[in-house]
Amino acid sequence: MQLYLVHCGFYDNSICDGIYESHVNLFVVARSFEEAKAKAKSDPVFKDKRMHVDGLQEIRTVHGYDINLEENKSLQGDTVILSNKHRDLAPKAPPSV
């Protein structure tokens, strides 16, 4: 099994009438690119947002470190991703006069 990053695009009608394409990356464990694509397409969010696959990457090594996957049966197939939220938002505009 290998780790894959699946780059998915979608159009969100709630943002600018859906004219611009948005993107998300999904991580998938699979045996091949074809299986990774199929697993991404079975994701409920993928289906709900009517996404499409723009590209796939098989992640083998990062900065000289091998990626070794080991099944953890206690997770029962769950995915755990830790996030460090960083938001550098533009300041609010002053009230109009």
Residue 28: CATH number of its domain: 3.10.20
Three-state SS annotation for 18-60: HCCEEEEEEEEEECCHHHHHHHHHCCHHHHHCCCEEEEEEEEC
pLDDT digits (tens, 9 = 90+) for 20-71: 999 999 999 999 999 999 999 999 999 999 999 999 999 999 999 999 999 9
The answer to the question of residue 93 being in a domain is no
| Number of domains forming the structure of the chain | 1
The answer to the question of residue 89 being in a domain is no
The answer to the question of residue 37 being in a domain is yes
pLDDT at 5 over 80: yes
What pTM does this model have?
0.81
Sequence-distant (≥ 6) Cβ neighbours of residue 38 within 8 angstroms:
30
The answer to the question of residue 94 being in a domain is no
Give residue 85's pLDDT.
81
CA 19 from chain centre, in angstroms, equals: 21
pLDDT at 96 over 80: no
3-class DSSP state of 97: coil
The answer to the question of residue 79 being in a domain is no
The answer to the question of residue 38 being in a domain is yes
Which residue segment(s) compose the domain that 39 sits in? 2-70
